[in-house]
A and B are shown apart, each in its own frame.
Chain A
Amino acid sequence: MTTLTNLWFVSLALCLVAALGLMLLIAARSLSARHGHREEAARRALLPRMLDGDPAGLAPLAGLDLRVATDLTVELAEMTRGSEREALLARAAALGVPGLLEKRLSARSAQVRLSAAEAIAMFDQCHDAATRALDDRNPDVRLGAALALAHRGEAPDPLTVVRKLKVGDEEHSLLLVSLMQDLARTNSEAVAGLLFEKDLSFEAKAAAMDALADLGGEYAPLLAYMARSADGERELQPRIYRALGRTGHPAGAEAIVHGLHSNDWTVRASAAESAGKAGLSQAAARLGEMLADPHYWVRYRASEALLRLGPRGINTLREVSEGEDEGARDVAARMLAEGRAA
């Protein structure tokens, strides 16, 4: 074959492929439109049955009806809570939805598996199937299953979950914090235990700390200890300080004041933020000095903290606004105006 013939062959082949692809697309779209009408009709018929009535009166579905009922269950479960959701799930179970969800856990599409893993965890009788999803090949499906199980208080112990999710290797999501919060609600000691696991990643420990901080002051001494001993860890230390501030516990005071003197501006800013959240009025003088910090975020967080401290902080802001340092004076005056405390 000559080069010229090849050129023509390539041109014609490309035309053919493009035309064929498009015809297939349009045909597929027309078919799916017809299918869509049938699906719509099934939705209209099933919706009232799923929202009302005695589950005992429902017979298991099959085919299109079952697929539609399963999709409806997932959608409606997101919109309902409490007894309403329990009733919905009971009706869905009577229609055979859990069976199809279990089959969908083996689907090729990760989206389908994720949706199934999240939904199946809601059914009491499907705990084992949902737990199996923790070993899925897709990290999003694993995380979705873990979140759903932890939300119901049915997840394995935190260390097992962290290992199954491969946190630090394949999983770095901020949603780990939500996961840890749910895990800590049922087993806070085990979550605290993660902090002492030597081979655990930074992400797992940071998420555990955030979750423990939300439990209140109980873990403040531990967080305070960790904040002070994390000197030099640029990613971790600011996050511990923010968590410590959220506990609002006096046990964190010494560590926060320590952070206000850090050489790292990100630590100073986060320590200032937590001083404000913890209402640390003994830090007011230092926060006032920080209004002259070279970094905007340190100045902003310090001034914000002073506003949060109430009268003592506002007095400090007023003093600085009349002081000699022009930059600090400007920060204090503007924040007083912004906080309508001028």
Chain B
Amino acid sequence: MNWMALSDPQAWMIASAEAIASVVIVTGLLQVTFYFVLLLYAGAALGTRPPVPRSATLWRRYSEQAPAISVLAPAFNEELSIVESTRSLLALQYPDFEVIVINDGSKDGTLARMIAEFGLEKVDRFIDSGVNHAPISGFYASPRLPRLLVVDKENGGKADALNAGINCARTALFCAIDADSILESDALLRVVRPFIDEPHLTIAAGGTIRIANGCKVDAGRITDIRLPTNFLALVQIVEYLRAFLMARVGLGKMQALTVISGAFGLFRRRQVVEVGGYSHGTVGEDMELVIKLHKLMREAKRDYRIDFIAEPVCWTECPDSLAVLGRQRARWQRGALECFVKHKGMLFNPRYGRIGMIGFGHILLVDVLGPVLEILGYVLVPLLWALGLLALPWLLAFLAVTFTLGIFLSMATLVLEEIQLRRFPKARELAVLAGIAVVENFGYRQLSNVWRLQGWWQFVRKQQSWGTMVRKGFSAA
């Protein structure tokens, strides 16, 4: 190393800039390579997935052997939508299930509406104490609706409410959902498949989350799939397709899935109780549960599977204002960082096999380093150009590659969606989404990284709040 050169401030600055630029470029290349590998795996997974029968066929095949499921729906201040959501859950097509609605200390009339609408009475229930949660104030049920149990408890957050639901569940499997999301009527029949195909190995399975903004909803069911008119909602459709159809399907195929969305996941209760249920004091409780399950099974050297199925769909309303979306993205970033730091010992640790290598490698590249390096790249490359260290053709080439890679990955995900799932009814909608996949690279992508950096900042400052998610509710048909 030329120490003389380093004593010169300008040379030092140039050397530092070059070093940082090298890190950004190498990490960027690694990220891109990883995305392409994920895309290939996702393509292979969707192309070779087991046959996907129609709902009627699924019912005929599974109705006798499908294991019982407890659907856990935590609700906090859901007075306006809880009755419709519960009716929609009770109407799910599945042979043997119970719906446990957990009123997490709502300040509004959530419980009163449930009691009045479903004619519930206070009952007693002998429950497990396997996982920790805030005290339960009462149980409500009705002989007319034997599938429904309402649990009223002190407020403790979503993870706490789900833990209460786990203790109340009397089935081997439970499905964690958001009370304000809409499960497709055959979603349980589809997501249970790995538990039927590999009953001794499967401990968890996740399904796809899709954006319901713009869709028509009638009696708690999506009746007409349409695109929203709001730009932010459109961009999130493309983002969700990338996240679920590329990343999660690919990671699932690799058996390295580290997150099953809190809005829709099916779990084997016994293993979840073994890991202590959902963790308190984190905003990434869904991700952490999956990581804890991996850790448990790997450390005990037990064979297991955690799968992702693309077909079962849960529809959710996404934020359509910058402020709410920014808060959500910062929270997601914080949740990922909390999980990563809490279980950092698993990173590249051969004891955890592909979870340590691929799963945690993915979190490191995409969630931990991703936003920092991308923002650094946006700052550094023009800076290097301004300092005369980078020629204009190189600057343009760098930007071109960055944007075209992003566009290519989004388009490839749209291709996967169209070939394998075909959920958008019209060709025009595909064209709109393709346009969005291009446009999002100029402005939205950078803004999203700024929100994620805010999440980083909140994580460093150990900020714990969830922020407020303002929902407008689904439009009626």
* A interface residues with partner B (beta carbon < 8 Å): 4, 7-8, 10-12, 14-15, 17-19, 21-22, 25-26, 28-30, 33, 75, 78-79, 109-111, 113-115, 118, 138, 140-141, 144, 147, 172-175, 177-178, 181, 235, 296-297, 299-300, 303, 330-331, 334-335, 337-338
Contact = CB atoms under 8 A, between A and B. Distances in A.
Contacts of A172: 197-201
Contacts, number: 126
Contacts of A147: 61
By secondary structure, the B interface counts as helix
Given A8-B400, A114-B51, 7 more contacts: A8-B397, A11-B397, A15-B407, A18-B412, A114-B53, A141-B51, A172-B200
A68 B411 CA distance: 32
A335 B126 contact: yes
Interface string B113-130: 000000000011110111
Given A78-B60, A110-B51, A338-B123, A22 B199 contact: no
Contact of A7 (B53, B397, B407): B397
B408 A17 contact: yes
A173 to B, nearest CB: 5
B404 A174 contact: no
Interface in B372-416: 393-394, 397-398, 400-401, 403-405, 407-408, 411-412, 414-415
Interface residues of B, number: 50
A75 B60 CA distance: 12
6 contacts: A11-B404, A29-B418, A75-B54, A75-B56, A178-B64, A178-B65
Contacts of A18: 404, 407-408, 411-412
Contacts of A14: 404-405, 407-408
B225 interface: no
B52 interface: yes
B196 interface: yes
Nearest to A10: B401
A69 to B, nearest CB: 17
B297 interface: no
B1 to A, nearest CB: 25
Nearest to B167: A296
B405 A177 contact: no
Interface of B: 50-54, 56-57, 60-62, 64-67, 123-126, 128-130, 170, 195-201, 393-394, 397-398, 400-401, 403-405, 407-408, 411-412, 414-415, 418, 426-427, 430-431, 434
Contacts of A144: 51, 61
Given A26-B431, A141-B51, A296 B130 contact: yes
A300 B126 contact: yes
A235 B51 contact: no
By secondary structure, the A interface counts as helix
Contacts of A28: 418
B64 A21 contact: no
Contacts of A299: 126
A113 B123 CA distance: 51
A21 B126 contact: no
Contact of B124 (A10, A114, A181, A337): A337
A22 B435 CA distance: 10
B427 A30 contact: yes
A28 B57 CA distance: 28
Contacts of A235: 200
Nearest to B195: A174
A17 B56 CA distance: 39
Closest 8 interchain pairs by CB?
Answer: A337-B124, A18-B411, A29-B427, A111-B51, A334-B126, A7-B397, A11-B400, A296-B128
Contacts of B401: 7, 10-11
A126 B427 CA distance: 40
A150 to B, nearest CB: 13
Contacts of A140: 50-51
Given A7-B400, A25-B418, A338-B125, A175 B65 contact: yes
A177 B128 CA distance: 30
A181 B65 CA distance: 11
- Among A30, A78, A113, A141: residue with most chain B CB under 10 A: A78
Contacts of B51: 109-111, 113-115, 138, 140-141, 144
B404 A15 contact: yes
Given A79-B56, A337-B124, A26 B393 contact: no
A17 B125 CA distance: 60
A297 B199 CA distance: 20
B199 A174 contact: yes
A150 B199 CA distance: 22
A299 B129 CA distance: 12
Given A7-B397, A18-B412, A174-B196, A111 B123 contact: no
B394 A4 contact: yes
Contacts of B125: 334, 338
A334 B138 CA distance: 13
A29 B430 contact: yes
A115 B126 CA distance: 45
Contacts of B66: 174
A328 B404 CA distance: 66
Contacts of A4: 393-394, 397
B67 A174 contact: yes
Contacts of A8: 397, 400
